[in-house]
Chains A and B, each alone.
Chain A
Amino acid sequence: MSLLEVTDLHTSFFTDAGEVKAVNGVSFFLDRGKVLGIVGESGSGKSVTAYSILQILAPTGRIVSGSIKLDGQELVGAGEKVMQDVRGNRISIIFQDPMTSLNPTYTIGHQLMEAIMLHTNRNKRQAWDRAVEMLRLVNINEPEKRMKQYPFEHSGGMRQRIMIAMALACEPDILIADEPTTALDVTIQAQILELMQDLQKKLGMAIIMITHDLGVIAQLCDEVVVMYAGSYCERGTADEVFYNPKHEYTKGLLRSIPTLDTVGQRLKPIIGTPIDLLNLPKGCPFAPRCDAAMKICVREAPKSQDINEFHKASCWMNVKALVEAQAALEEQPAAPDEAPEPAAAPAAIAEGGDDE
């Protein structure tokens, strides 16, 4: 059993303009001590997935269906009391913007101790010691002095360290990092990522790393979930997703980053613009921007296919490849009888044309 199991999660926001399906059937597992990356563009639902796990959605947002199991315990539908025990204690989160996630009117020490005293039965003195210990752990010099200072006296990188110290003070099993380095400079980003890797080794917690930066994912993550328009496109080990992408969106993303090989050439961008979550199409949400889109892609949303033990993707191209492989096998009369079963709807593929 995995530490965290998210199965077919659907989260929507009910606005005046209609239902915004922010998360649309996302599933993944997170094992103890592993780093899972969730990557996607703005509006792909990666942050909402994280907020759904902790149930800290905006008032208009609701988990519509699906299941989130922490160590076997179902969290969807669990009461506020259960969630209060989970938040901070077993799963904690650090946010994107370290400039606004600390309260400017309280000292660093006050805010750290508040978190510690809320979740453990330490008294004030012990909480102080623990807070100092945590600041030392995240490499902050003169922690005793820092405890009495206010957030404005610290730089962005320091504040993010303080947020990490606060998140880890109660030794959670899972740390969710929601774009922790997006607001920081490259050299400071490198410091923070290094710190997170160190702490992960030292404390052994699992991390969910939410980012739009494939570079951060490549550096840190064991497993990757790629999201587009609220649905997951692909998930697998980092090596599988980077070196053997099986979804057209992942392929497009990897092609559109400038690398050594693209110097002096044009990039190959994904055409079009992200879709409107208010009017999700019936078929694959990526189909309108996809070079390889077929008729079936517009008609029907693809189901998740197993590429191998470590890799799943939901793209009709994989089904097509399977069907073609099978057809090729059938043409040889002496072919062995172990042709792979197509995952879904081979008839629809057969009648679907190549271009649309």
Chain B
Amino acid sequence: MSTEERPLVEVQHLKEYFPINTGWFKTTPLKAVDDVSFSIKRGETLGLVGESGCGKTTVGRTILHLYKPTDGVVIFDGKPITTKEALAEYRKKTTMVFQDPYSSLNPRMTVSDIIAEPLDVHRMCANAKEREQRILELMDHVGLNSEHASRYAHEFSGGQRQRIGIARALAINPEFIVCDEPVSALDVSIQAQVINMFDELQDQFGLTYLFIAHDLLVVRHISNRIAVMYLGKMVELADSEEVYDNPLHPYTKSLISAVPIPDPKIARANKRIPLQGDIPSPLNAPSGCPFRTRCPYAAEACAGSMPPFEEVETGHFVACHRVREINA
């Protein structure tokens, strides 16, 4: 397979279980991510959406091996990340931007030290002058003023802090960045600035993103493809336009209809598909399809087994037993 066709990141049957103490010498596995497979092409942005507790952040962290996967394998640029050496190499090419710009920056470090920390860890600068040069270059990429280098994080607003976090992520010249809700904590006007910056940096450096967010309008704007998760499972994956215009899974349908659209006439005419009840606890997830307890189309078969994640139309994957009947 040539490099053109080969995906940059390939995730196969990824599982991440956390042991939860449920009694005196008893633990129950919390299946935060349960058998998730997908791949991301070079230069692509894959959006990952779902409600809180569905495991989207855990997917991001497990891909980067911040958590050791319980099972499954991540293949980066054709090499499976199974050995220590492969992981060390992988860590130099991948990085993460965190959700909360207030707690993800060390308050005792200056901006220049924060940005240079990955450089120091990976020993990427030969001398102090080169390090200085690189810091200024990175600050310039994210639109920070070079005179801010000696300041501390608390002197900046939320949007500027997120820029510092992004500069830190760019320091190692990564190929792949996991963006974990990078704009959720920001105001609308600042959010747009940061989204544009992600777009521009992608064009400039050919970056590949896994963009995790719960704001579907933002995800649609930035992503080439969108994956939808529910209770640790992936339920739908397709091109972003396709997910929006032609969602096939009942959960996706309801999720998209629930997005408040900032246009009064459309919003008033919008027919929402309400869901009953709340998300079940992942500790005692329903048998079979995890969505069946809230699904308006649930049938007997749904309780029996987890539906396979199959390609229903070209490039459009859905995990639903009744997908063909529902969309007929």
Binding site for B on A (CB under 8 A): 41-42, 155, 157-158, 185-191, 193-194, 212-219, 238-239, 242-243, 252-254, 256-259, 262-263, 266-271, 273-274, 289
Complex CA gap A188/B51 in Å reads 9
Q: Enumerate chain A residues within 8 angstroms of B241, measured Cβ to Cβ.
A: 263
With A213-B260, A218-B266, A268-B192 already in contact, 12 other A-B pairs whose C-beta atoms are closer than 8 Å: A185-B279, A186-B214, A187-B275, A190-B257, A213-B262, A218-B260, A218-B261, A258-B217, A259-B217, A259-B261, A266-B196, A269-B196
Decide yes or no whether B125 CB sits under 8 A from chain A: no
Complex CA gap A254/B275 in Å reads 29
Cβ-defined contact, A42 with B187, below 8 A = yes
Pick 20 A–B contacts, CB within 8 A, sort by A. A157-B278, A185-B51, A187-B51, A212-B187, A215-B260, A216-B260, A219-B261, A219-B270, A253-B189, A256-B188, A256-B191, A258-B217, A266-B196, A267-B195, A269-B190, A269-B193, A269-B195, A273-B190, A274-B189, A274-B190
Q: Enumerate chain A residues within 8 angstroms of B255, measured Cβ to Cβ.
A: 186-187
Q: Size class of B's contact patch?
A: 35 or more
Q: Enumerate chain A residues within 8 angstroms of B73, measured Cβ to Cβ.
A: none
Decide yes or no whether B110 CB sits under 8 A from chain A: no
Complex CA gap A238/B260 in Å reads 14
Q: Enumerate chain B residues within 8 angstroms of A215, measured Cβ to Cβ.
A: 217, 259-262, 267
Which of chain B's residues has its CB closest to A141's CB? B277
8 Å CB interface, B194-235 against A: 195-196, 199-200, 214, 216-218, 220-222
Interface centre among B191, B214, B216, B267 (most CB of A within 10 A): B267
Interface centre among A243, A253, A273 (most CB of B within 10 A): A273
Cβ-defined contact, A252 with B262, below 8 A = no
Complex CA gap A25/B199 in Å reads 39
In the complex, per-residue mask of B163-193: 1 if CB is within 8 Å of any chain A CB, else 0: 0000000000000000000000001111111
Q: Enumerate chain A residues within 8 angstroms of B200, measured Cβ to Cβ.
A: 266
Cβ-defined contact, B188 with A253, below 8 A = yes
Q: Enumerate chain B residues within 8 angstroms of A274, measured Cβ to Cβ.
A: 157, 187, 189-190
Q: Enumerate chain A residues within 8 angstroms of B264, measured Cβ to Cβ.
A: 218-219, 238-239, 242-243
B62 → A minimal CB distance (Å): 22
A17 → B minimal CB distance (Å): 15
Contacts A194-B272, A253-B188, A267-B196 known; A219 to B267 CB distance under 8 Å?
Answer: yes
Cβ-defined contact, A258 with B218, below 8 A = yes
Please pick, from B52, B221, B257, the residue contacting A258 in the complex, using a CB distance under 8 A: B221
Ranked 4 nearest A-B pairs via Cβ:
A215-B260, A258-B221, A269-B192, A256-B192
Decide yes or no whether B274 CB sits under 8 A from chain A: yes
Complex CA gap A157/B193 in Å reads 31
B75 → A minimal CB distance (Å): 29
Decide yes or no whether B12 CB sits under 8 A from chain A: no
B44 → A minimal CB distance (Å): 14
Q: Enumerate chain B residues within 8 angstroms of A191, measured Cβ to Cβ.
A: 274-275
8 Å CB interface, B57-82 against A: none
Contacts A242-B264, A262-B221 known; A252 to B189 CB distance under 8 Å?
Answer: yes
Cβ-defined contact, B268 with A219, below 8 A = yes
Complex CA gap A263/B216 in Å reads 12
Cβ-defined contact, B274 with A194, below 8 A = yes
Contacts A185-B51, A263-B241 known; A41 to B189 CB distance under 8 Å?
Answer: yes
In the complex, per-residue mask of B235-251: 1 if CB is within 8 Å of any chain A CB, else 0: 00000110000000000
Decide yes or no whether B263 CB sits under 8 A from chain A: yes
Which of chain B's residues has its CB closest to A254's CB? B262
Interface centre among A189, A217, A257, A271 (most CB of B within 10 A): A257
Complex CA gap A188/B200 in Å reads 34
Decide yes or no whether B160 CB sits under 8 A from chain A: yes
Complex CA gap A118/B47 in Å reads 50
B183 → A minimal CB distance (Å): 10
Q: Enumerate chain A residues within 8 angstroms of B195, measured Cβ to Cβ.
A: 258, 267, 269
Contacts A157-B278, A187-B254 known; A219 to B192 CB distance under 8 Å?
Answer: no
Interface centre among A185, A238, A252, A270 (most CB of B within 10 A): A185
Q: Enumerate chain A residues within 8 angstroms of B272, measured Cβ to Cβ.
A: 190, 194
Complex CA gap A189/B268 in Å reads 16
A333 → B minimal CB distance (Å): 43
Cβ-defined contact, A186 with B278, below 8 A = no
Complex CA gap A258/B194 in Å reads 12
Decide yes or no whether B258 CB sits under 8 A from chain A: yes
Cβ-defined contact, A257 with B262, below 8 A = yes
B279 → A minimal CB distance (Å): 8
In the complex, per-residue mask of B122-165: 1 if CB is within 8 Å of any chain A CB, else 0: 00000000000000000000000000000000000101100000
Please pick, from A41, A185, A213, the residue contacting B214 in the complex, using a CB distance under 8 A: A185
Cβ-defined contact, A270 with B189, below 8 A = yes
Interface centre among A212, A253, A258, A271 (most CB of B within 10 A): A258
B312 → A minimal CB distance (Å): 23
Cβ-defined contact, B261 with A190, below 8 A = no
Q: Enumerate chain B residues within 8 angstroms of A187, measured Cβ to Cβ.
A: 51, 254-255, 258, 275
